[in-house]
Structures are given as C-alpha cells and as structure tokens.
Structure 1
Amino acid sequence: MKLAILSRNSKLYSTRRLAEAARQRGHSVRVLDPLRCYMRIASQAFDMHYQGKPIAGYHAVIPRIGASVTRYGTAVLRQFELMGSYCPNPSDAILRARDKLRAHQLLAAQGIDFPVTVFGDNPDDTTDLLSMLGPPPHVIKLNEGAQGAGVMLTEKPAASRSVVEALRGLYANFVVQEFIAEAEGADLRCFVVGDRVVAAMRRQAPEGDFRSNLHRGGSALAAEANAGEQAVAVRAAQVLGLGVAGVDLIRSQRGPLVLEVNSTPGLEGIESVCGVDIAGAIVDHVAAHCHQPRTGQGRRRPS
C-alpha cells in the first residue's frame, strides 16, 4: 500500500507512530504537509503538486489535520478522494465532526443521547433560550473549540447571560449545554477504529476544574468500556462518517452521553495509558479498505 499521512509536523507523536506502524507492515509511507499541497481542478480532472512535483497514485490517505487548518486541509483531502485515494475519515466527515452544533443535530436525529444543548443568535432571546435548557450550572462551548479550549462553566443565571452576551459581542459561535454533575469531572475516551472500540481510558479533571482533557492537566487511567458504551461510541462515529474517532462519553444517570466526537484523536495519551498499538490498528483498518486508484494519474470521474 502506498500511504500518505497529512500532517503539518512529521515529528508529532501521532504522525510518527502511524508512519512507523505502516513501515513495520511493509507499506510505503510519506508524510505530507497539507499546506504545501496545491491543486489543479478541471472538468473530470483532479491533479495535485507538492513542493514543485506532481503527487498521485496514493492508495490511501490518513488525515491528521489540525483545527487551525480545517478549511484548506479538508480541501486537500477532498482532492485526494477525487483522485481515487481511500480516506478512513473523509473530508465531509471531518467537517461534520468539527462543527459541534451540526454534529449534535446529526447525533440527535439518530437517537444518540448527549447533554441537552441549546443554540440561538438574537440577544433578545437569551433569557428564553436559557430557560429552554433549565437552571444552571451551564456549560458554554465554542462551536469549533478543541482540547478543552473555549469551554466554560457558569453556576448562576446572571453569569450564563453575561458569558453568552460577551461571546455574541465577539461574533463567536457557541452552544450551551446542561452540566452533568454526577460525572464528577470524569469522562471516558473510547478510541474507535472501524466497527470496534480498540482502547478506552477514563480521564479525570484536575482539582478545581471540570474539564478532563489531558491538555488541561487531566489525568488518565486505562478503562473498560461496557457493551452499551462501546455501541454508543461506534454508532456516533458511524453517524458522522468517521472510520477513526475519539468518542468522549460521560456516565450519567440516564446512561452514556456523547460529549464530543473527535476526528483527529491523539494517540500518545491513550497508547501510553492502555499499552495498545492503536497506530497499528488504524493502519490495518486502512489497508483492509483501500483500493488501487481507479483511473491513475490523478484523474477520475467523481461518483
């Protein structure tokens, strides 16, 4: 298999592990900076160059596209798709997952439960909007935040209104959610590859915080997701169209609730905590599903 990994930095743990796992399995691997890929788009013809040379013929592409380059990165990934490469996380699936509001709407339509969420635009509706959610505490999240950034907890109605008004003044997109107190600052990261959870870890928020992200100082231990939690995690990834995903759940009185579906989950924390070769599982999944580019030379008729 000729494999490309889209990543801004080949030295990042996740990128390096994927490349190592692929080479150990005898695959040809190249790490490509998506911002150095540039495209020619014509009727029924899709070509791409990288650092002055044409690139084509990749059987598969694994995207490691950061949130800051989502727009251009997904355009590059879409070009690979149109050139016949298999992508476990297609460009449109990444865009769905990155938009928290859109992702929650899609999950809700399929009966997947998550903290009750409200969204509105007009300042005149703020009081009624918050009443639709219920009394605080409230969790306010930027619509495209990542790694716990842009997530706030408000404990009084006046505080919720103030934060909402401030974010509207900054023209920020955000959602407001119910706070699940019984979770006690913990969540369950389920790493989904294909149709199964290959590893899970329980993350705990540090003292004085409610965000369990490792990037925010949270701690983690290997965990066992039960059958119901695994089914919810796999289903959530499938609804958004992701073959590889980090699905964050919280354990509530009404069952597992989806907090977020991450289309570019990091490998370092969960591999070190669980001792599982997740990079190898991803490469094996990609190899099992990829195919030869159908028309070669970077040109094909889009389906």
Structure 2
Amino acid sequence: MNIKILSRNASLFSTDALVQAAVKRKHNVQVIDPLNCDIVIEKKKPEIYYRGKKLDHVDAVIPRIGSSITFYGTAVVRQFEMMNVFTTIQSQALVDSRDKLRSLQILSKAGLGLPKTVFTNYSKDVSEVISHVGGAPLIIKLLEGTQGLGVVLAETKTAAESVLEAFNGLQARVIVQEYVKEAKGADIRVLIVDGQVVGAMKRQGKEGEFRSNLHRGGSASIIELSEEEENAAIKAAKALKLGVAGVDMLQSERGPLILEVNSSPGLEGIQIATGKDIAKSIIRFIERSV
C-alpha cells in the first residue's frame, strides 16, 4: 500500500517508528509536512499537491498533527477524506479531541467518569467557581495547553483566586478541575488502536511535581489494567470516534476518571515502558481497514 504520514518532523521517534513499521510490512511510505500541502477544491475533483507534486494513488494517511497546526492539519486530513483515502484519525474526531471542553462534554454524555470540572465566561465570582469543584486544592488548565504546559495546582483558596483572576484579566480560557488526592501525582496512559487496548503504562510525576507528563521528568512503568479501566479507555476512544487514541486517566476511589483523550499520542514512552510495538499495531489497523 501507499501510506502517507502527516508529520512536520520525520526524525521524531513516533514518526520514525511508524515509517519503520510500514517498511517492515512491505508498504510504500512517505512523511509529508501538512503545512507544505496545497488543497485544491473543485466540483467532484478534490486534489492535494505536496511541494508542487500532485498526490494520487494514496491508500491511507496517518495524521500526526501537532496542536499548533490543528486548523490547517485538519483541513488536509479532511481533503484526503474527500479523496476517499482511509485515515487512522478522522478530521472531525481530531477537532473534537483538541477542544478540551468539547471532548469533556462528549465523554460526560457517554457516561464516563471525569474529575468534576467547571468552565465559565471569565466569571468575576471566582469563589463560587472554586466551591463548585469542592474547594482547594484544585487544578486550573488552559484550554490550549499541551504536555503539561498551562496546568497549575492551586493548593489554597487564596492561591486559586489569584490565579483565576490573573487568567481572567488576560482573557485566557481555562477550566477548573477537582484535585484527586488519592492519585498521588500519577496517571495512566492507555493506547487504543481500532477499539482495542494495545498498551498501557502508569506515569508518575517526579518528586514535588503533580504533573506526570514524561516531558516534565515523569517516569513510566507497565501496568495491568483492571477491567473497569480497560472498558473506560475503550469507551472514551469510541465516544470521540478515534481510531488511534491515547487515553489519560486517574485512579480514584470512585473508579477511573478520564482526564484527556489524545489524538496524536507519543509512542516512545509507552513502547519503552511496555516493550510493545505500537507502531506495528497502527500499520496493521490500516491493513485491516483498506
């Protein structure tokens, strides 16, 4: 098959792992930068040109769209869909997963456990917002934040009020979430491919750090999921209609709580932690689907 990987950097671990997995399974594969694609829209004749050359005879695409290029990257994925090319991540699912507020609303409707979350239109009554999530300590997240950036732990009510007032003054959109104490600075990342769990790891924040992201110095280890955790992860990916997803959740006294569902999950940490070839699972997903 002829597979295109939409990525801005061919040397990234995840992109390179997908290339290697495709080559091993005898596919033609090319990494293309979505920002260098030109979209041609014409009646019943959608086309994409990459660096001046028309892309045709494409069987499948694997979107690895960074959050900073979501708008244009999604447009490129949508154009491939119009050309009847299979994509591991559908364009609308990509849009929904990138919108933290919308994705939480979709997950809530699907009946999944979530940390209690509040979103307001720059409310001046920050005390009421704080009380809605059970008071301090609490978590404040920028809607556009990624990899742990733009996430603040406010340990006291006074600190929470100060941070919220500052963000409101800057007209920065934030959500406020309850702090799940029993998680102890750890979360679980579950990789879902085609509705199946293909890997899971527990991420622990470094000492003194409440964020467990590996980019922020956290550590990872393989974990065996409970049936409830496995079902929650699968259901979350299905609710957002993601063929490939990284589902982040907390272990709590009331069961698994979904934090976020990532449509372009990094493969390096989880492949090292689990010893599993996640990239191969994604290529096999394409083979089954095309």
Aligning the two structures, in what range does the TM-score lie when normalised by the shorter sequence? Answer: over 0.9
- The aligned counterpart of 2:146 is 146
Write the distance in 2 (CA, Å) between the matches of 1:250 and 1:123.
28
Confirm or deny: 8 A CA contact 1:120 1:126 kept in the other structure: no
- The aligned counterpart of 2:163 is 163
1:39-78 to structure 2, matched below 5 A, reads 39-78=39-78
Residue type of the partner of 2:243? G
- Cα drift, residue 245 of structure 1: 0.7
1:127-276 to structure 2, matched below 5 A, reads 127-276=127-276
- The aligned counterpart of 1:85 is 85
Can you list the C-alpha shifts for 1:202-260, whole angstroms capped at 9, x where unaligned? Answer: 11010111000000100111111121111100110110110111101111000011111
Residue type of the partner of 2:260? E
Write the distance in 1 (CA, Å) between the matches of 2:211 and 2:124.
30
- The aligned counterpart of 1:294 is none
- The aligned counterpart of 2:7 is 7
- Cα drift, residue 171 of structure 1: 2.0
Write the distance in 1 (CA, Å) between the matches of 2:128 and 2:209.
28
Confirm or deny: 8 A CA contact 2:122 2:171 kept in the other structure: no
Residue type of the partner of 1:99? D
Write the distance in 2 (CA, Å) between the matches of 1:122 and 1:34.
35
- Cα drift, residue 155 of structure 1: 1.2
Confirm or deny: 8 A CA contact 1:246 1:263 kept in the other structure: yes
Write the distance in 1 (CA, Å) between the matches of 2:7 and 2:67.
12
- The aligned counterpart of 1:286 is 286
Write the distance in 1 (CA, Å) between the matches of 2:53 and 2:195.
37
Write the distance in 1 (CA, Å) between the matches of 2:232 and 2:128.
31
- Cα drift, residue 45 of structure 1: 2.4
| Partner SS state of residue 206, structure 1 | coil
Write the distance in 2 (CA, Å) between the matches of 1:74 and 1:19.
21
Confirm or deny: 8 A CA contact 1:196 1:230 kept in the other structure: no
- Cα drift, residue 151 of structure 1: 0.6
Deviates more, 1:12-21 or 1:52-61: 52-61
Does residue 102 of structure 2 align to residue 124 of structure 1?
no
- Cα drift, residue 127 of structure 1: 2.3
* Aligned residue-pair number: 290
Residue type of the partner of 1:202? K
Confirm or deny: 8 A CA contact 1:205 1:211 kept in the other structure: yes
Q: Normalized against structure 2, the TM-score is what?
A: 0.98
Confirm or deny: 8 A CA contact 1:271 1:278 kept in the other structure: yes
- Cα drift, residue 160 of structure 1: 1.1
Confirm or deny: 8 A CA contact 1:97 1:261 kept in the other structure: yes
1:76-115 to structure 2, matched below 5 A, reads 76-115=76-115
- Cα drift, residue 157 of structure 1: 1.4
CA-atom RMSD in angstroms: 1.0
| Partner SS state of residue 176, structure 2 | strand
Residue type of the partner of 1:109? K
Can you list the C-alpha shifts for 1:277-297, whole angstroms capped at 9, x where unaligned? Answer: 10000100111112xxxxxxx
Write the distance in 2 (CA, Å) between the matches of 1:13 and 1:124.
44
Residue type of the partner of 2:210? F
Residue type of the partner of 1:275? G
Task: Give the number of the structure with larger relative contact order, counting CA–CA contacts within 8 Å between residues 6 or more apart.
Answer: 1
Q: Which runs of 5+ in 1 are unaligned?
A: 291-303
Write the distance in 2 (CA, Å) between the matches of 1:122 and 1:177.
15
Write the distance in 1 (CA, Å) between the matches of 2:199 and 2:65.
22
| Partner SS state of residue 114, structure 2 | coil
Deviates more, 1:174-183 or 1:119-128: 119-128
- Cα drift, residue 125 of structure 1: 3.3
